[in-house]
């Protein structure tokens, strides 16, 4: 192995804080990950296999990236583009981001330490053993630093030799919005290439490792020169893969259970952090991404490193589909297995006392919105932990509140001994309410906080502002704005970003823009908030302006902005173009983007495309399920998705039932509709709302069951029926020519919406069908 694997398991079980390392993604997931291996050695172990490394050199625009894609396709190497890694730093506003941006704008070389560290991180976190390192080393200094820090030598060095004029033409036509693709920077890049990269090329030439390729001609012609270079290495490339214990790609399923006689410990690893992939996704085609995913699953099936790991469903022969579907299922299965293991241990008298375990599990339950699993975890948590550990109880509170279990959330909250000492617990409650669209409740908690003398912190405000945006009250929003300034958060980017969003959602785009202008160091959230706000307000011109400024500053629109753009697309052609753009950026697997694509295709009547996107999703949330079911509003196949959703243990919500009930109404599936209506309250505790009754009246009405439809309104509904319900009945009366019930429905509608001419017209048609000409005339007179 390239990196040494410590043999002992003990560090895992008694991991000290120092043995834990939180990677960026891990931290983002709020997870504590115990490192299961010692990882200090960066030189290859003696006798261990080194990774197969190819350096790809050539001037700017010589076609390195293009050829790398083909090499990846054919030989399955992992593509790491140094330029892409640096651009990712800019986009993510890391501490080096500004410095890198300035150097790239000027065509200069970023300090080797920075670039090599980025490459090293990618190499270490990948489970691949064969890499294409593109655009590196650019200088002798780069080369030496790589040898020193990574401790590896390339097996092959490709040099794409291209005349300057051709490179200039290609770069100026590249059209990817890169800050350095302009003639001024290009001239500098070419000079630097000649001065600094030539010595590297000569170095490898002297070592006999250099392969020079004439980079003029078609992409395929050039690749014909590349192919034979790798042929001698084919066996080496096929050989078993390097297994890196630190690799997030290897961490599948997300949990590994470690058992000793007295103790059960869990190593939690988020299975959906793929830094290697996302870093180079700018250039990569999603197909490679899929190949990697599938490999990941296969590798994990093959490598359990001696741990008791959770079982995985075997991938089927269709890589793309199965890779993704099994991923989603396995996440829940893994969670379920871990909880079952813990329950078994608890029954045997082994008490689990580590708050990190519960915090991780609850975080996962929350991500998967599995309240059922959350409740099981809840039962395992010792009472004293719940009372005293803010981290654990807050996660539980948020889970319950966000799944609509307000009472239980409050019960847990009330028992928290430290709830009055900080805003932490309150934030969870506010966040839970805000996420489940219970905005008034979220606001009430904020005001309660003030009454109880708990000071809000910088995390409180974004949550409250989100709730305020949900309510759409500019007055409350302004009051909170004053509060946050008073509390000293008037210059906090994190808070100001939420303020931009709030003002925009409350309809005051001018104020949103003035807050945005006030943000001194805008981060990518600031830009994306403003872009999204303009889009929401239909201000496309302004949105395009912001978009241009973003590209100028090297900030890419994020998934939220892209989802908003997708939601506003008016033509299938533009939708498809955007879908292509999304794929090129490797963003098609982002949950909100995929959800928006489903809605887009469904809106455009492209059901099979919507299903395709859905089937490809790595992760699905309630919005995805609702979108695909709603896309089937006139197709009985939609119920299969509902059943699949239940099997996946995703809890249907109010919207899901509106969708399935209208599907049943539209397709005449009365029995299924009745069954689902009853399931909604009995199984899922959702009391039927106006929309559900409207669907039921529609269901019976369309099926000609007028008495059932009528009695649904007068007998079953516990509240006054509104226009949607009576309207459904009136329409059914028109279809089935029932003037008696039609009169009753119309009468109620005339009271509820006296100005809606449609109701009068419908009643006239009903009378006309029944040949009650005098009544037709009477209604006509009423309309005058």
Ligand X SMILES: Nc1ccn([C@@H]2O[C@H](COP(=O)(O)O)[C@@H](O)[C@H]2O)c(=O)n1
> How many residues sit in the footprint of ligand X (CB under 6 A)?
17
Pairing of strands 264-268, 255-259: antiparallel
**CB nearer to ligand X: pick between 104 and 465:** 104
Residue 63 touching ligand ATP (CB under 6 A): yes
Structure token pair of residue 557: 């629109």
Please choose, out of 60-68, 94-102, 112-120, 268-276, the segment that lies near ligand ATP by the rule CB under 6 A.
60-68
Confirm or deny that 66 is annotated as ligand binding: yes
Q: What is the DSSP letter of 20?
A: B
Q: Please say whether the dihedral angle defined by the alpha carbons of residues 137, 139, 144 and 150, taken in this order, is positive or negative.
A: negative
Under rule CB under 6 A, which residues in 178-237 are in contact with ligand X?
180, 189
Structure token pair of residue 622: 């309630």
Q: CA–CA distance from 312 to each of 292, 508, 712 (Å)?
A: 17, 50, 47
**CB nearer to ligand X: pick between 103 and 549:** 103
Residue written as token pair 């002798």: 140
Structure token pair of residue 659: 């969708």
Residue 213 CB, shortest distance to ligand ATP, in Å, is 11
Residue 144 CB, shortest distance to ligand X, in Å, is 13
Please choose, out of 33-41, 79-87, 202-210, 746-754, the segment that lies near ligand X by the rule CB under 6 A.
79-87
Structure token pair of residue 753: 């919406």
Residue 96 touching ligand X (CB under 6 A): no
Residue 66 touching ligand ATP (CB under 6 A): yes
Instruction: Tell me the three state secondary structure of residue 186.
Output: helix
Residue from the set 51, 58, 63, 83 that interacts with ligand X by CB under 6 A: 83
Residue 172 CB, shortest distance to ligand X, in Å, is 14
**CB nearer to ligand X: pick between 111 and 722:** 111
Residue 135 touching ligand X (CB under 6 A): yes
From ligand X, ligand ATP, none, which one binds at residue 142 (CB under 5 to 8 Å depending on kind)?
ligand X
Q: Are 80 and 277 in contact (CB under 8 A)?
A: no
**CB nearer to ligand X: pick between 108 and 765:** 108
**CB nearer to ligand X: pick between 192 and 392:** 192
Residue 502 touching ligand X (CB under 6 A): no
Give the Cα separation of 152 and 53 in Å (integer).
8
Give the Cα separation of 229 and 224 in Å (integer).
10
Residue from the set 33, 71, 86, 543 that interacts with ligand X by CB under 6 A: 86
Among residues 617, 622, 624, 579, which one has the least CA distance to residue 599?
Answer: 624
Q: Are 734 and 727 in contact (CB under 8 A)?
A: no
Q: What is the DSSP letter of 243?
A: -
Give the Cα separation of 135 and 118 in Å (integer).
13
Residue written as token pair 């892209």: 562
Please choose, out of 40-48, 50-58, 136-144, 498-506, the segment that lies near ligand X by the rule CB under 6 A.
136-144
Q: Which residues contact 544 (CB under 8 A, 6 or more apart)?
A: none
**CB nearer to ligand ATP: pick between 42 and 66:** 66
Residue 172 touching ligand ATP (CB under 6 A): no
Q: CA–CA distance from 131 to each of 68, 122, 288, 403 (Å)?
A: 10, 10, 13, 44
- Cα dihedral: 726, 730, 731, 737 (round 10): 160
**CB nearer to ligand ATP: pick between 69 and 124:** 69
Residue 233 CB, shortest distance to ligand X, in Å, is 24
Pairing of strands 130-134, 264-268: unpaired
**CB nearer to ligand X: pick between 109 and 352:** 109
Give the Cα separation of 213 and 226 in Å (integer).
7
Residue 61 CB, shortest distance to ligand ATP, in Å, is 4
Instruction: Tell me the three state secondary structure of residue 256.
Output: strand
Residue written as token pair 């100005």: 755
Residue 83 touching ligand ATP (CB under 6 A): yes
Among residues 242, 239, 253, which one has the least CA distance to residue 307?
Answer: 253
- Cα dihedral: 272, 273, 277, 281 (round 10): 90
Confirm or deny that 482 is annotated as ligand binding: no
Residue from the set 172, 219, 479, 735 that interacts with ligand ATP by CB under 6 A: 219
Residue 61 touching ligand ATP (CB under 6 A): yes
Q: Are 401 and 436 in contact (CB under 8 A)?
A: yes
Per-residue string for binding with ligand X, 35-74, x by CB under 6 A?
-------------------------x--------------
Residue from the set 36, 62, 96, 115 that interacts with ligand X by CB under 6 A: 115
Confirm or deny that 137 is annotated as ligand binding: yes
Q: CA–CA distance from 639 to each of 122, 613, 643 (Å)?
A: 43, 18, 6
Pairing of strands 52-58, 130-134: parallel
CB atoms within 10 A of CB 450: 11
Residue 83 CB, shortest distance to ligand X, in Å, is 2
Please choose, out of 78-86, 417-425, 430-438, 543-551, the segment that lies near ligand X by the rule CB under 6 A.
78-86
The strand pairing partners of 159, in sequence order, are: 57, 212
Residue 107 touching ligand ATP (CB under 6 A): no
Residue from the set 15, 26, 54, 62 that interacts with ligand ATP by CB under 6 A: 62
Residue 191 touching ligand ATP (CB under 6 A): no
From ligand ATP, ligand X, none, which one binds at residue 108 (CB under 5 to 8 Å depending on kind)?
ligand X
Residue 67 CB, shortest distance to ligand ATP, in Å, is 7
Residue 160 CB, shortest distance to ligand X, in Å, is 12
From ligand ATP, ligand X, none, which one binds at residue 254 (CB under 5 to 8 Å depending on kind)?
none
Pairing of strands 308-309, 255-259: antiparallel
Confirm or deny that 394 is annotated as ligand binding: no
Give the Cα separation of 208 and 205 in Å (integer).
5
Residue 64 touching ligand ATP (CB under 6 A): yes
**CB nearer to ligand X: pick between 104 and 392:** 104
Residue 200 CB, shortest distance to ligand ATP, in Å, is 14
Residue from the set 108, 205, 287, 545 that interacts with ligand X by CB under 6 A: 108
From ligand X, ligand ATP, none, which one binds at residue 66 (CB under 5 to 8 Å depending on kind)?
ligand ATP
Q: Are 167 and 191 in contact (CB under 8 A)?
A: no
Confirm or deny that 470 is annotated as ligand binding: no
Instruction: Name the region of 683 (left: φ>0; alpha: ψ -120 to 50; beta: rest).
Output: alpha
Residue 677 touching ligand X (CB under 6 A): no
Per-residue string for binding with ligand ATP, 131-150, x by CB under 6 A?
----x---------------
Q: Which ranges of 32-152 does DSSP label H, i.e. alpha helix?
A: 64-75, 82-91, 97-105, 112-125, 140-149
Confirm or deny that 142 is annotated as ligand binding: yes
Structure token pair of residue 633: 């509003």
* HSE, side-chain direction, 13 A CA sphere, residue 479: 8
Please choose, out of 62-70, 197-205, 311-319, 586-594, the segment that lies near ligand ATP by the rule CB under 6 A.
62-70
Q: What residues form the annotated binding site for ATP?
A: 61-66, 174, 217
Q: What residues form the annotated binding site for CMP?
A: 142
Binding-site ranges for ligand ATP (CB under 6 A): 58, 60-66, 83, 135, 170, 174, 218-219, 222
Binding-site ranges for ligand X (CB under 6 A): 60, 82-83, 86, 103-104, 107-110, 115, 135-136, 138, 142, 180, 189
Q: What residues form the annotated binding site for a ribonucleoside 5'-phosphate?
A: 87, 108-110, 135-138, 178, 189
């Amino acid at each position: 192995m390239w990196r040494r694997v410590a043999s002992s398991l003990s560090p895992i079980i008694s991991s000290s804080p120092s043995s834990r390392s939180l990677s960026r993604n891990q931290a983002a997931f709020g997870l504590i990950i115990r490192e299961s291996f010692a990882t200090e050695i960066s030189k290859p172990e003696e006798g261990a296999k080194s990774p197969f490394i190819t350096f790809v050199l050539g001037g700017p625009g010589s076609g390195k990236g293009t050829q790398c894609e083909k090499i990846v396709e054919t030989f399955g190497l992992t593509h790491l583009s140094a330029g892409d890694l640096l651009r990712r730093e800019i986009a993510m506003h890391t501490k080096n981001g500004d410095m890198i941006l300035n150097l790239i704008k000027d065509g200069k070389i970023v300090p080797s330490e920075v670039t090599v560290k980025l490459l090293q991180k990618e190499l270490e976190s990948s489970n691949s053993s064969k890499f294409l390192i593109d655009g590196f080393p650019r200088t002798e200094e780069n080369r030496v630093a790589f040898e020193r820090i990574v401790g590896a030598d390339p097996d092959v060095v490709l040099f794409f030799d291209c005349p300057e004029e051709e490179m200039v033409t290609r770069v100026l036509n590249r059209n990817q919005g890169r800050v350095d693709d302009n003639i001024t920077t290009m001239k500098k890049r070419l000079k630097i290439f000649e001065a600094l990269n030539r010595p590297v090329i000569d170095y490898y030439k002297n070592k006999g490792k250099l392969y020079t390729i004439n980079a003029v001609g078609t992409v395929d012609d050039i690749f014909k020169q590349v192919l034979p270079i790798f042929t001698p290495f084919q066996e080496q490339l096929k050989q078993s893969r390097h297994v890196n214990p630190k690799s997030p790609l290897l961490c599948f399923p997300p949990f590994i259970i470690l058992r000793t006689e007295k103790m059960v410990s869990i190593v939690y690893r988020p299975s959906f952090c793929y830094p290697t992939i996302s870093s180079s996704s700018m250039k990569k085609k999603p197909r490679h991404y899929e190949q990697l995913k599938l490999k990941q699953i296969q590798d994990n099936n093959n490598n359990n490193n001696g741990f008791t790991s959770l079982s995985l469903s075997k991938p089927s022969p269709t890589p793309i589909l199965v890779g993704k579907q099994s991923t989603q299922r396995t996440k829940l299965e893994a969670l379920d297995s871990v909880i079952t293991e813990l329950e078994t241990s608890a029954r045997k008298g082994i008490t689990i006392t580590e708050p990190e375990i519960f915090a991780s599990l609850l975080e996962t339950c929350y991500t998967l919105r599995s309240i059922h699993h959350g409740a099981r975890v809840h039962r395992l948590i010792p009472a004293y932990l719940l009372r005293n550990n803010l981290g654990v109880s807050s996660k539980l509170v948020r889970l319950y509140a966000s799944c609509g279990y307000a009472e239980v959330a409050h019960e847990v909250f009330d028992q928290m001994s430290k709830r009055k000492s900080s805003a932490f617990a309150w934030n969870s409650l506010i966040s839970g309410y805000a996420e489940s669209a219970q905005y008034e409740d979220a606001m009430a908690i904020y005001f309660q906080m003030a009454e109880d003398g708990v000071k809000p912190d910088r995390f409180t405000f974004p949550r409250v502002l989100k709730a305020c945006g949900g309510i759409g009250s500019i007055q409350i929003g302004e009051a909170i704005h004053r509060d946050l300034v008073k509390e000293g958060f008037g210059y906090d980017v994190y808070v100001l970003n939420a303020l931009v969003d709030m003002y925009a959602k409350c309809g005051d785009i001018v104020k949103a823009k003035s807050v945005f202008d006030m943000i001194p160091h805008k981060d990518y959230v600031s830009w994306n908030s403003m872009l999204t706000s303009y889009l929401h307000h239909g201000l496309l011109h302004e949105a395009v302006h912001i978009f241009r400024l973003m590209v100028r500053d090297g900030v890419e629109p994020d998934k939220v902005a892209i989802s908003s753009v997708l939601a506003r697309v008016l033509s299938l052609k533009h939708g498809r173009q955007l879908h292509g753009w999304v794929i090129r950026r490797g963003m098609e697997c982002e949950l909100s983007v995929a959800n928006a694509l489903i809605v887009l295709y469904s809106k455009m009547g492209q059901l099979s495309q919507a299903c395709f996107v859905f089937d490809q999703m790595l992760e699905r949330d309630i919005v995805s399920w609702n979108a695909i079911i709603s896309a089937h509003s006139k197709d009985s196949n939609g119920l299969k998705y509902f059943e699949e959703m239940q099997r996946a243990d995703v809890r249907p919500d109010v919207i899901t039932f509106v969708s399935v009930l209208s599907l049943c109404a539209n397709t005449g599936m009365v029995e299924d509709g009745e069954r689902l209506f009853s399931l909604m309250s009995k199984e899922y505790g959702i009391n039927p709302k106006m929309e559900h009754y409207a669907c039921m009246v529609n269901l019976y009405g369309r099926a000609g069951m007028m008495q059932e439809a009528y009695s649904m309104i007068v007998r079953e509904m516990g509240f006054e029926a509104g226009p949607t319900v009576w309207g459904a009945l009136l329409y059914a009366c028109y279809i089935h020519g029932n003037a008696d019930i039609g009169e009753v429905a119309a009468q109620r509608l005339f009271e509820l919406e006296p100005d809606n001419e449609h109701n009068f017209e419908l009643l006239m048609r009903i009378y006309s069908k029944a040949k009650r000409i005098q009544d037709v005339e009477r209604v006509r007179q009423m309309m005058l």
